[in-house]
Amino acid sequence: MMANKDYYHILGVNKSASAAEIKKAYHKLAHQHHPDKKGGNAEKFKEITEAYSVLSDSKKRQAYDQFGVGANGAGPGGPGGFSGFRDFSGFQGADFGNINFGQGFDFSDVFSDFFQNFGGGGRARGEAGPPKERGADIQVDMEISFAEMARGTEKTVSIYKLERCHQCKGKGAEREEDLEKCHVCKGTGHVERKISIGFGSISQIITCQNCKGRGFEVKKKCSACHGTGVTKEKVAIKITVPPGVETGNILRVESQGEESRDGVSGDLFVRLRVTDHPFFKRVGADIVFENEIPLTEALLGTKIEVPTLDGGHTVNIPPLTPDGARFRLKGKGIKMGRSGATGDEVIKVRIKMPRRLSSRARRLIDELKDEGL
């Protein structure tokens, strides 16, 4: 039953979980159960999305913690919350004289959250029209190169996603005469129900679940969307990847998720993977490049040509350079975020020792040995 749903259990988090922990749990489960994926589960995806829509909103979460699922309009009979509260019918004859609410208690506080429009299905007093349905979020994986990570890039992804039907404009029928009044709500888009709260009851206006608040039913379905109001379309979306990202980072592209029949889109979440570079290593905002030089060059000094992300660069190696010495090229590292602050490239020198010595080399080294080297 909907009334017994435990949103915390659905997302696999504790009741004390932070907003960040809830978001992380949702993204993991949404990626796992998305219906577009092989092995995805549409019902499970819908359930975790419902849980996240409540627990990610501080007001909805507070109301849920106090009053359960019904507080946010997800109880039996459909969404609506307490935003449709009308009167105190059912309180007649109730005696509150012996109840001590404490000093300064304002009885209206008890119902303050009831009048919020939680965006999920009820209609607040004075609100015109049915609530807008929002499309689902989508998560995709994207791979970028090390160089693209370091400087930022723009990518285009092509995905199949639900779009509002262009043929019927989301109505589900191509002609107005193919629509008729909903037999449940009589065309109003909402119905009334009474809710018991222990010592009385209140009347609540909720969205009609038969017509989803639209007030009409489809007699003859649209040939393009078959009455659903949405069609699957291939869409190319441009993604701006800021510099300095890391594998596992997730970019949120607003309103590029699936579109509902009302024309309201969810968001697109892009999970990044940065490929390894053949010779650069990342350390924070810096990149490290190891360069081998012969022993004689380390002793006498030399100039070496090293690669950078922007081309080649010459580095002076002074005489008597020890193994492991580091030389820093300012501003040749990774740009961090949109601020443009850039790290450095660090050249780490490794001394290449000979594998064997010729007779002449041995004699020369013996002579150097006599000098104390």
Last residue of a domain, one of 276, 291, 321: 276
The verdict on residue 55 lying in a domain is no
In this structure, the answer to whether residues 149 and 228 fall within a common structural domain is yes
pTM beyond 0.85: the answer is no
Q: What is the dihedral of CA 221, 225, 226, 232, to 10 degrees?
A: -170
Alpha-carbon separation of residue 264 from 79, 166, 205, 212, 369 (angstroms): 18, 14, 23, 15, 81
The verdict on residue 192 lying in a domain is no
In this structure, the answer to whether residues 248 and 142 fall within a common structural domain is yes
> Would you state the pLDDT for residue 322?
96
**Which structural domain range is residue 354 located in?**
281-370
User: What would the pLDDT profile of 124-142 be if each residue is shown by its tens digit?
Assistant: 444 455 668 899 999 999 9
How confident is residue 72, by pLDDT bands cut at 50, 70 and 90?
low
User: What would the pLDDT profile of 316-345 be if each residue is shown by its tens digit?
Assistant: 999 999 999 999 999 999 998 766 789 999
The bridge status of strand 286-294 relative to strand 345-352 is parallel
CATH code of the domain in which 157 resides: 2.60.260.20
User: What would the pLDDT profile of 96-117 be if each residue is shown by its tens digit?
Assistant: 344 343 444 443 443 444 433 3
In this structure, the answer to whether residues 238 and 317 fall within a common structural domain is no
In this structure, the answer to whether residues 356 and 317 fall within a common structural domain is yes
Task: Give the residue from 199, 197, 206 showing the smallest Cα distance to 82.
Answer: 206
Helix (H, G, I), strand (E, B) or coil at 371: coil
In this structure, the answer to whether residues 248 and 328 fall within a common structural domain is no
